[in-house]
Amino acid sequence: MDYIKQAIELILSGNRELWQVIKTTLVMSVFSTGISSLIGLPLGVAIGRSGFKGKGVILRITNTLMGLPPVAAGLLVFMLFRSVGPLGSFHIMFTVRIMVVAQVLLITPVITGLAASAAGVIAESLGETAKGIGIKPVKQVLLLMRECAPQFIGIMLVGFGRSIAEVGAVSLVGGNIRFKTRVMTTAILLETNKGNFDTAIALGILLMLISFVVNTVAYPYRRK
Q: How does the average pLDDT of the chain come out, rounded?
A: 87
CA nearest neighbour of 7 among 194, 209, 146: 209
Question: What is the Cα–Cα distance from 40 to 56, expressed in whole angstroms?
Answer: 17
**Which of residues 50 and 101 earns the better pLDDT score?**
101
| pLDDT tens readout for residues 59-74 | 999 999 999 999 999 9
pTM of the model: 0.89
Question: What is the Cα–Cα distance from 127 to 156, expressed in whole angstroms?
Answer: 24
* 53 φ, ψ (degrees, to nearest 5): -70, 135
| Alpha helices, H only, 55-95 | 55-66, 70-81
- HSE at residue 102, side-chain half, CA atoms within 13 A, is 34
Instruction: Place domain 2-223 in its CATH homologous superfamily.
Output: MetI-like (1.10.3720.10)
Question: What is the Cα–Cα distance from 146 to 39, expressed in whole angstroms?
Answer: 17
What number is the average pLDDT over the span 22-43?
95
